[in-house]
Homo-oligomer: A and B are copies of this chain.
Amino acid sequence: MDPCDTPRRPGRPRGLDSICREKLLAAALPAFARHGFDGVSLRAIARAAGFDASMVSHHFGSKADLWYAVVEQLALEFQADLEDSALGVAGPQPVWQRLAAVVDHMVDRLAARPAVVMLVSREINDPSPRLDFLVEHLLRPAYLHYAPLWREGMEAGVFHQTDPAVFHLSFFGAVAMALSAQEVIGRITGQPMDADRLKQEIRRAMLGDAAPD
């Protein structure tokens, strides 16, 4: 029996709850992304994680609470990325170099978690009260973080001048679609496209062959 399926009691190792949470969140993200919130049951997600549905309720409450927890975790990962890495929007490096770091990072993140794009697309295309939560916790903070860099890119002539929020969503959509289309690109051209070259071509599509200032 999975230890996550035993009720909490004295002597239960510390940290176990957070391991159980993580396993469940890892199963919930692709399930919500693929089938939609209404199209998937708490029972099915629990089964995919190897848990009993009652234990899911114990750890998270309702299906809605599980969905919110999935988005909260994505928001935490996004915050951690911003703190850990060289993804400062401002900085001593020339703008093309900061932009390249941001594009490469976005490509790596979305390639590793394709379900994120599907989850966001679903909610954007089929608005519900969940979209407010997604906007507040993930979409708005991401926009506010990157907008100054997009503006700098426009001033430097890397991007066309346009509304920064329209640009931000276009940018995300462009990277996400190109990345998820790796197989399709190979099929429509008859030339297989490998992941490394795709990453390079996405960077060129977004930034051109920007050279050091």
Contact = CB atoms under 8 A, between A and B. Distances in A.
A177 B172 contact: yes
A187 B172 CA distance: 17
Interface in A177-200: 177-178, 180-181, 183-185, 187-189, 193, 197-198
A53 B124 CA distance: 31
A36 B124 CA distance: 16
A163 interface: yes
Contact of A160 (B143, B166, B170, B209): B209
B204 A162 contact: yes
Interface stretch (A55-63, A69-77, A84-92, A125-133): A125-133
Contacts of A135: 184, 187-188
A127 B185 CA distance: 13
A1 to B, nearest CB: 31
Nearest to A143: B188
Contact of A184 (B169, B174, B176): B169
Given A39-B36, A121-B180, A185 B166 contact: yes
B178 A176 contact: no
B126 A34 contact: yes
B188 A140 contact: yes
Contact of A178 (B160, B170, B209): B170
Interface in A133-184: 135, 139-140, 143-144, 159-163, 165-178, 180-181, 183-184
B34 A170 contact: no
Given A39-B35, A161-B204, A121 B124 contact: no
Given A166-B205, A170-B205, 7 more contacts: A35-B36, A131-B184, A144-B188, A166-B178, A167-B205, A169-B181, A173-B181
